Chain A
Amino acid sequence: MPSARPELAALSDQEVVLVARSGQEAAYRELVRRYERPIFALLFRMVRDRELAEDLAQETFVKALNAIDSYRPEFKFSSWIFKISNNAAIDHLRRRELDTLSLDGSPHAETPEAMQATALQIGARQESPLDTVEAKELGTAIEAAIGTLRPEYRSCILLRHVEGRAYEEIAEILNLPLGTVKTYIHRARNELRLSLAHLKE
């Protein structure tokens, strides 16, 4: 991977955007360099398909960079681009509507009974964490277990624990109330705990 120009690497995201708006290709590339890995990693863990994640990441960057004039510097650039990528992933998952809106039911369900009542039942194509137990690979099992979470939970927990984003930023990215973000993260961890319980045995 090519390294950034030193003068650009020292600038904040907002400053790099200003340089990009003056028509300098190097500034556009610097933004890609800074965010290609986190955006790709988020998308890969959302859609669990490398080629598709790369397509969605490309779509995210093209959309963001072609609309760089509409970015408002009072907000974090990271929030803006994560929001675009998360929307791309959620749109794709809604279109596909198979591996994702399956196990969990409505995200607004408050009780396990309500979640069960609103859940869709699918089976064969779902990647089960149990399959990966045999591999005795905790990392792989966690990856698979994250893949079974509903998309909203998945976005929240990945942004929090993989990307280290603040709750407020996650709320902004996902357009959710702060309390909902915390609840989703908590529920996601509980579901992961249940999915991974067999590893303890």
Chain B
Amino acid sequence: MTRSSGPHLSPDQFEAWLDGELAPELQRHLDECQACLEQARVDREIADQIALLPLMGPGEGFADRVMAAVAIPDPFAIRSLQATRRRLFATPKSLAFAASLALLLLGSMAGSIAWTLSHQATMASIGTWLLSQGGQVAWLGLRGIASNFIEQPWYDGIRSLLETPARLALISALASLAYLGGVFALRRLLAVPTQQVAHAGF
């Protein structure tokens, strides 16, 4: 018992012994080595004592408190979405329709790209014409809007608001805030609806 063969067991090997998976040659070492045997006995004793610690749970109403803070997706909204998906892909006919639509879209995109690449001169002349015409139209439109704007009775008041750089910065900041507020409100409006959680148990 007191004579040992080879080095002492490693932590991994003590774990293996606790799990009953120690290799036979290591088991022989354990049978002969007093130090390892004592360590193994203590490991077992402590593991057993920890396993005997009492079970414990949270107080009454724990699940209700958790559920009060959990947002559960509305099953009606999920079902509607799933039903739409199912309808779209349920039958060979609807599947063929969806595939044709996708093919048509992709085909037309590919066709237009191919045509553009093979008629670059035509595209360039059309582009130049559109730019010149578009520029003229845009300029005329802008002038019309501007002259109409200047004629308004409140124009001078607005202009006086923007006379200094500080005021301009302030108005810009307010406009940015209003824009962000609008984006946030839109996100809230478009979010998946959630149902109110009932707290009445199962």
Contact = CB atoms under 8 A, between A and B. Distances in A.
Most buried by A among B11, B42, B43, B58: B58
Interface in B54-77: 54-59, 62-63, 65-67, 69-75, 77
Nearest to B48: A161
A165 B65 CA distance: 28
B52 A23 contact: no
Contacts of B67: 25, 28-29, 32
A161 B52 CA distance: 9
A54 interface: yes
A2 B202 contact: yes
B150 interface: no
Q: How large is the interface on B (under 10, 10 to 19, 20 to 34, 35 or more residues)?
A: 35 or more
A147 B54 CA distance: 15
Interface string A35-67: 011001100110000000110011001100110
Contacts of A83: none
A interface bracket (residues with beta carbon within 8 Å of B) = 35 or more
Nearest to B195: A23
A161 B11 contact: no
B47 interface: yes
Interface in B74-113: 74-75, 77-79
A26 interface: yes
B75 A22 contact: yes
B202 A4 contact: yes
Nearest to B42: A193
A101 B137 CA distance: 73
A103 interface: no
A89 interface: no
B62 A57 contact: yes
A3 B202 contact: yes
A2 B52 CA distance: 26
Contacts of A157: 50
Nearest to B202: A2
A173 interface: no
A158 B79 CA distance: 42
Interface of B: 11-12, 14-15, 42-43, 46-47, 49-59, 62-63, 65-67, 69-75, 77-79, 195, 197-198, 201-202
10 contacts: A1-B57, A26-B202, A37-B56, A40-B62, A62-B70, A65-B66, A65-B70, A157-B50, A182-B11, A183-B12
Interface of A: 1-5, 20-26, 28-29, 32-33, 36-37, 40-41, 44-45, 53-54, 57-58, 61-62, 65-66, 138-139, 142-143, 146, 157-158, 161-162, 164, 167, 179, 182-183, 185-187, 189, 192-193, 196
Given A32-B62, A185-B11, 15 more contacts: A2-B201, A2-B202, A22-B75, A29-B202, A32-B66, A36-B62, A37-B56, A146-B50, A157-B50, A182-B12, A183-B11, A186-B14, A186-B43, A187-B11, A189-B46
